[in-house]
Amino acid sequence: MTTFDLRSIHIRGGDQHRAEVSVDLGVFLLGGQAYAPQPDPTPATLAITRASSGTVLELDFAVTLDGPCFRCLGDAALTLSLRAREYQATKPASDDERSEYMEDDRVDLSAWARDTIALALPDKILCRDDCAGLCPVCGKDLNVEPHEHAETVSDPRWAALESLREES
């Protein structure tokens, strides 16, 4: 877990402090599959701006997630360039003015970066946009060996339903 102690910097209202940090991300588990962030730890830029009413935090980083394609299980890589912003009021009156990543003037950069990545992920991580996936009959990769199977004899347990379809 990577944290940043805001007490280590001294800035006044309106000033900004920039710091180059390395954020530990760890492996992501999505749909039962593991995706490794590259590089890990990930270099990031943290910008801290003091406002009259609180602190504005910005995190800028780029990461590539390496893991299996959702369709064909081949190698897939998803590159993300991300920017996140958080606000912490000096005297928070409600939860809207409080950052969930800040506690005792320490910012949890790992949790913040992981949540930012999670929000930016597509529904499926694919090796390419037109991935054909795996054959549902034999399990071969349809990207490497496109093919079709001849219609096979249907399961006799479905015979009653087949006769209904033929009647209509």
Q: Which two tokens stand for residue 51?
A: 């406002």
Q: How many CB atoms lie within 10 A of CB 59?
A: 22
Please give the model's pTM, rounded to 2 decimal places. Answer: 0.80
Mean pLDDT of 36-56: 93
pLDDT tens digits, 63-115 = 999 999 999 999 999 999 999 999 988 887 777 778 889 888 899 999 999 99
- Closest by CA position to 136, among listed 145, 127, 149: 149
Region of 103 please: left (phi>0), alpha (psi -120 to 50) or beta: beta
Strand partners, 77: 66
Residue ranges per structural domain of the chain: 3-131
pLDDT tens digits, 117-168 = 999 999 899 999 999 999 998 999 999 999 988 876 778 888 888 888 888 6
Residue written as tokens 């209202």?
13
The residue type found at 2 is T
> Kindly report the CA angle at 62 between 58 and 66, in degrees rounded to 5?
140
Burial of 117 (0-12, 13-18, 19+ CB in 10 A): buried
Distance CA 3, CA 100 (A): 13
- Of 24 and 52, more confident: 24
Determine the pLDDT at residue 22: 96
